[in-house]
Amino acid sequence: MTPAIDAHVRLDTHPTHPSAVQAVLTGTQARVALMALEAADWSVAATNIMVLARIDHEEPYWADDAAKHLIAAGITVEITPRLQKAINEEWTWANYPMPWCTRSEIREVSNQAQKNHDDICHGQLLIHAHAHDGHTTVAVGTYLHRSGKFVYLHGEDHLRQVADAFDSPAEALMAFESVHAAAMRPGPAPLTDTERAAIEARSVFDATTAKSGPSRPEPEIVPVYLADAGDHDALLNTFLDAHGEFEKWRTWSDDTTHAIHESQTLRIERVHETPAHETARTVAANETPVSDRMWVLTATGATAAPVLKDLLTHLADGDGWDTVIGAPVDEKMVTTATQPLSDAGWKHTVDGRWIRWASPDGDAGVQFDAFTAQHPNQNLATWTIWAGPGPDRPTWTITASPHTPSSLLTDLSEPLAHETGTRQAQPGREHQTRLAARAPATPAVTAGRPASRSR
Domains of the chain: which residue ranges? 222-423
pLDDT recorded at residue 18: 81
At 20, which amino acid appears? A
Sign of the alpha-carbon torsion through 366, 371, 376, 377: negative
Classify residue 292 by its DSSP letter.
Answer: P
pLDDT recorded at residue 125: 87
- Extract the runs of DSSP E, i.e. beta strands, from 104-206: 125-132, 137-143, 149-154, 161-166, 185-186
pLDDT recorded at residue 30: 92
Q: Distance between CA 451 and CA 97 in Å, rounded? A: 13
Three-class DSSP labels, 88-118 = HCEEEECCCCCCCCCHHHHHHHHHHHHHHHH
**Any bridge partners for residue 93, and if so which?**
450
Note whether 7 and 29 are within 8 A (CB): yes
Classify residue 360 by its DSSP letter.
Answer: T
Q: Distance between CA 250 and CA 236 in Å, rounded? A: 13
Q: Distance between CA 118 and CA 97 in Å, rounded? A: 22
Radius of gyration, CA atoms only, the chain: 28
Q: Distance between CA 202 and CA 244 in Å, rounded? A: 33
SS3 454: strand
Q: How far is CA 69 from the centre of its chain?
A: 21
Smallest CA-to-CA distance from 97 within 16, 158, 32 is with 158
Backbone torsions φ then ψ of 195, nearest 5 degrees: -65, -40
Note whether 111 and 117 are within 8 A (CB): no
pLDDT recorded at residue 436: 31
Which helix (H) or strand (E) covers residue 385, if one does?
Answer: strand 383-387
Is pTM beyond 0.75 here?
no
pLDDT recorded at residue 119: 86
pLDDT recorded at residue 323: 53
pLDDT recorded at residue 445: 25
Q: Which residues lie below 8 Å from residue 368, measured CB to CB, with a gap of 6+?
A: 334, 338, 354, 355, 356, 382, 383
**Any bridge partners for residue 279, and if so which?**
300
pLDDT recorded at residue 2: 56
pLDDT recorded at residue 327: 57
Return averaged pLDDT per consecutive 10 residues of the chain, 455 residues in all: 80 88 93 92 89 91 94 93 87 75 87 89 86 91 76 90 87 90 89 86 56 53 90 85 84 73 89 86 87 89 92 77 58 90 94 93 94 76 92 92 89 92 58 31 30 35
Note whether 101 and 109 are within 8 A (CB): yes
pLDDT recorded at residue 384: 95
Classify residue 82 by its DSSP letter.
Answer: H
Q: How far is CA 294 from the centre of its chain?
A: 33
pLDDT recorded at residue 249: 81
Q: CB-hemisphere CA count at 13 Å for 393?
A: 4
Note whether 406 and 336 are within 8 A (CB): yes
- Measure CA of the first residue to CA of the last residue in the chain; give whole Å: 37
